[in-house]
Amino acid sequence: MTRFVLEYHLVAYRRVWRGSVLSSFVLPLLTMLGFGVGVGTYVTGGVDGVPYLDWIVPGLIASTAMQVAIGDSSWPVLGGFEWQRIYFGQAAAPLRVADILDGHLAFVVFRTLTSCAAFLVIATAFGAMHSWWALATLPVAALVGLAVATPTFAYAATIRVDSYLAVLFRLGVIPMSLFSGVFFPVESLLGPLRWIAYALPLWHGVELSRAATLGVAPAWSLVGHVLYLSLWAGAGWLLAHRQFTRRLVV
């Protein structure tokens, strides 16, 4: 039954995909020019002996996964309950709560993968990819997407007005984007802030992506990073499923 919910979201997306394709290529291009090329000219010697453009790209791919996943898990989920109320229509059909939740999550993973694939194409055109192992950033992006999407689903299903989503982006998404090792090593942060960065899911995705593109060992073991992101995804799914059940099952 999950595939029918996924099909619904894909059919709806078919009407608006052209706009997202444009942004999927333009935004990575501007980001590469602004940070990778522009700021990179001032970072002499690169980072850890790696040119700044090559060092920043895997972090930007992981950050793109996080931002796309949270963006598609916030207003659309709130709207599914409060505005379009599509979840209630789906719940009236012979669908389980898990089908509704998993089908929408599958669409979020699809959106995450296509956006990160576009970023990977742009990065390759800039000469920032030097190994076929860079393709491993795509499953990493999917895992990062799930790790942040599931708790966002739970949060968006809890609130009633979208002003709370602005709080999420200002206090959650923006700080996580800036201080998770995307633009500079987290070792540059003060001790307490560094441990906060370690606790956030994005840093683990950045480390895995960087290991794939640069061929370096991640700060933790590969299994440790994957398990930690899986823990975020699993715990978030349980919370989301509980909240969806409260809203949809009378």
Q: Give the model's confidence band at 158: pLDDT under 50 very low, under 70 low, under 90 confident, else very high.
A: very high
What pLDDT does residue 77 have?
A: 96
Structure tokens at 212: 């794939």
Q: Which of the two residues, 231 and 25, has the higher pLDDT score?
A: 231
What pLDDT does residue 41 have?
A: 67
What pLDDT does residue 20 have?
A: 74
Cα of 221 vs its chain's centroid, Å? 21
Buried b (16+ CB within 10 A) or exposed e, 73-99: bbebbbebbbeeebbeebbeeebbbeb
Q: What is the mean pLDDT of residues 86-107?
A: 94
What pLDDT does residue 250 have?
A: 65
Whether the per-residue pLDDT at 18 is higher than 90: the answer is no
**CA-based max dimension of the chain:** 61
Q: What is the mean pLDDT of residues 174-191?
A: 89
Following CA atoms 233, 117, 196, 164 in sequence, which dihedral angle do they give, to the nearest 10 degrees?
-70
d(CA 114, CA 74): 19
Tell me the average pLDDT of the chain. Answer: 89
Least confident segment among 68-82, 116-130, 149-163, 167-181: 116-130
Orientation angle between helical segments 137-158 and 52-82, nearest 10 degrees: 30
95 and 4 in contact (C-beta within 8 Å)? yes
23-81 pLDDT tens trace: 777 777 777 777 766 766 666 666 777 888 888 899 999 999 999 999 999 999 999 99
What pLDDT does residue 225 have?
A: 95
Q: Which of the two residues, 5 and 215, has the higher pLDDT score?
A: 5
Whether the per-residue pLDDT at 114 is higher than 70: the answer is yes
Q: Which domain holds residue 192?
A: 2-248
Q: What is the mean pLDDT of residues 106-112?
A: 96
138-147 pLDDT tens trace: 999 999 999 9
What pLDDT does residue 163 have?
A: 92
What pLDDT does residue 29 have?
A: 76
What pLDDT does residue 13 have?
A: 87
Residue matched to tokens 């809203």: 247
Number of domains in the chain: 1
